[in-house]
Amino acid sequence: MKIAFNTLPLATEHKNRGIGYYTKNLLRELEADNSLDIVKFTDNKELNRDIKLVHYPWFDLFFRSLPLLSKLPTIVSIHDVMPLLFPQNYPVGIKGRINNFLQKIALNRCSYVITDSECSKKDIIKFLKIEKDKIAVIPLAAGEEFGILKDTQLIHIKRKYNLPDHFLLYVGDANWVKNLPFLIQGFKELISIPKFQNYKLVLVGGVFLKNVENIDHPELASLKQANRLIKENGLEKLIVRPGQLNTQELIAFYNLATVYIQPSFYEGFGLTVLEAMSCGAPVLCSNTASLPEVGGRAAIYFDPKSLDRFVKILSEVLENKSLQYKLSKLGLEQSKKFSWKQTAEKTKEVYIKAINL
């Protein structure tokens, strides 16, 4: 079965983001399936008559990522429709609106849509008017390399980055939906409690090292606010910003963290939650969108708008070593429910259904 798979995300700014991660991992597993002949392409002109189906592993709401006309059965992966849920935080110009109109036309001509969570499926039905029977929910997974490391493997990273014995960890971007000012405020409140004054907050991501103060862009407003809170409250020495880590370093950070925190207002999936669980980190995350689907019973949840309640929950977890141990064990079990092999197998099932339509 010859399948054309669009690899453009691996050659663009998506390469080091969630879409690139999805494309790379899914493609690797599909290529390992001997029943599939995967033809990689970046331009639709490269497609030929031998192709049975085309898969676009991402969908852009405001740029032309799908062809309007296609003679082949087409699958598209839509990870979330966040800009449609929160339009006030994602301003769009006239060109973007025109592209969105054309993208919707192209989308309705696709055979199936793949998405990461039941939450995203509901949003796609509501905002893009796709029939529910045309949407397949196929979860993502942490990479197989994410796991428990030996102490000897952790010492080097701890020394290299001068990490404390106790720290809270966040990994990811810093746009509005990630709710970083909330996390900074919560950390400030936490360390005002004497027993937690030795804790630090670690923010992993290249964005945290960027000088954005003189850049006027709406997507940077949340990061600017977080930076102001850090400066105004004298937290500079208590917040560690190591920048973008390689995979092995990131795994070590997850292993070393006292707790991992995901304070997002919304996540289409929440991959970092699974990565943290795979490495034994106790997880606290917001009770919104897809995060309860991913975390299941293995995480402790909080309202991302209730600061007092968050600080109370966080302090209770930090005080309770047996609870941390329990969360770590539950997280390891939860993470085993997800794998890229399973993601690829379910994706192949969609391919077969589309070809047989």
**Domain extent at residue 106:** 2-141+339-355
Handedness of CA 137, 283, 27, 24 (dihedral sign): positive
Q: What is the mean pLDDT of the chain?
A: 94
Q: Are residues 116 and 236 in the same domain?
A: no
Closest CA to 116 of 2, 18, 247: 18
pLDDT at 191 over 90: yes
Q: Are residues 174 and 267 in the same domain?
A: yes
Q: What does the pLDDT read at residue 50? A: 87
Q: Per residue in 248-278, pLDDT tens?
A: 999 999 999 999 999 999 999 999 999 999 9
Q: Hunting for tokens 């905002």 — which residue is that?
A: 127
Q: What does the pLDDT read at residue 74? A: 96
Residue 223 lies in a domain: yes
Strand partners, 112: 75
Q: Write the CA distances from 35 to 2, 56, 57, 82, integer angstroms.
A: 9, 20, 20, 35
Q: What does the pLDDT read at residue 248? A: 96
Q: What does the pLDDT read at residue 214? A: 66
Q: How far is it, in rounded angstroms, from Cα 168 to Cα 317?
A: 12
Residue 326 lies in a domain: yes
Q: Are residues 230 and 255 in the same domain?
A: yes
Residue 119 lies in a domain: yes
Q: Are residues 247 and 272 in the same domain?
A: yes
Q: Are residues 197 and 123 in the same domain?
A: no
3-state helix, strand, coil in the chain (%, to 5): 50, 15, 35
Q: Are residues 88 and 230 in the same domain?
A: no
Q: Which of 15-24, 31-40, 180-189 has the lowest mean pLDDT?
A: 15-24
Residue 6 lies in a domain: yes
Tokens representing 254 are: 């997850």
Q: How far is it, in rounded angstroms, from Cα 307 to Cα 319?
A: 18
* Number of domains within the chain: 2
Q: What is the DSSP letter of 66?
A: S
Q: Are residues 25 and 173 in the same domain?
A: no
pLDDT at 85 over 70: yes
Q: Per residue in 317-343, pLDDT tens?
A: 999 999 999 999 999 999 999 999 999
Local structure of 37: helix, strand or coil: strand
Evaluate whether 76 touches 110 at the Cβ level (below 8 Å). yes
Q: Are residues 327 and 197 in the same domain?
A: yes
Q: What is the mean pLDDT of residues 14-19?
A: 84
Closest CA to 241 of 200, 201, 203: 203
Q: What does the pLDDT read at residue 240? A: 96
- 54: domain CATH number is 3.40.50.2000
Q: Per residue in 107-139, pLDDT tens?
A: 999 999 999 999 999 999 999 999 999 999 999
Q: Are residues 124 and 166 in the same domain?
A: no
Q: Are residues 29 and 107 in the same domain?
A: yes
DSSP letters of 158-205? Answer: HHHTT--SSEEEEES--SGGG-HHHHHHHHHHHHTSGGGTT-EEEEES
Residue 273 lies in a domain: yes
Q: How far is it, in rounded angstroms, from Cα 153 to Cα 319?
A: 27
Residue 279 lies in a domain: yes
Residue 312 lies in a domain: yes
- CB neighbour list of residue 299: distance below 8 Å, 6 or more residues apart: 273, 277, 283, 284, 285, 291, 292, 327, 331
pLDDT at 178 over 80: yes
Q: What does the pLDDT read at residue 100? A: 93
Residue 146 lies in a domain: no
- First-to-final CA distance of the chain: 15
- CB neighbour list of residue 194: distance below 8 Å, 6 or more residues apart: none
Q: Are residues 225 and 345 in the same domain?
A: no
Q: Identify each DSSP E strand in the chain by its residue range.
A: 2-6, 37-41, 53-56, 74-77, 112-115, 135-137, 167-171, 200-204, 239-243, 259-262, 283-286, 299-302
Q: Per residue in 25-77, pLDDT tens?
A: 999 999 999 999 999 999 888 888 789 999 999 999 999 999 988 889 999 99
Q: Are residues 231 and 349 in the same domain?
A: no
Local structure of 135: helix, strand or coil: strand
Evaluate whether 107 touches 68 at the Cβ level (below 8 Å). no
Q: What does the pLDDT read at residue 34? A: 95
Q: What does the pLDDT read at residue 171? A: 97
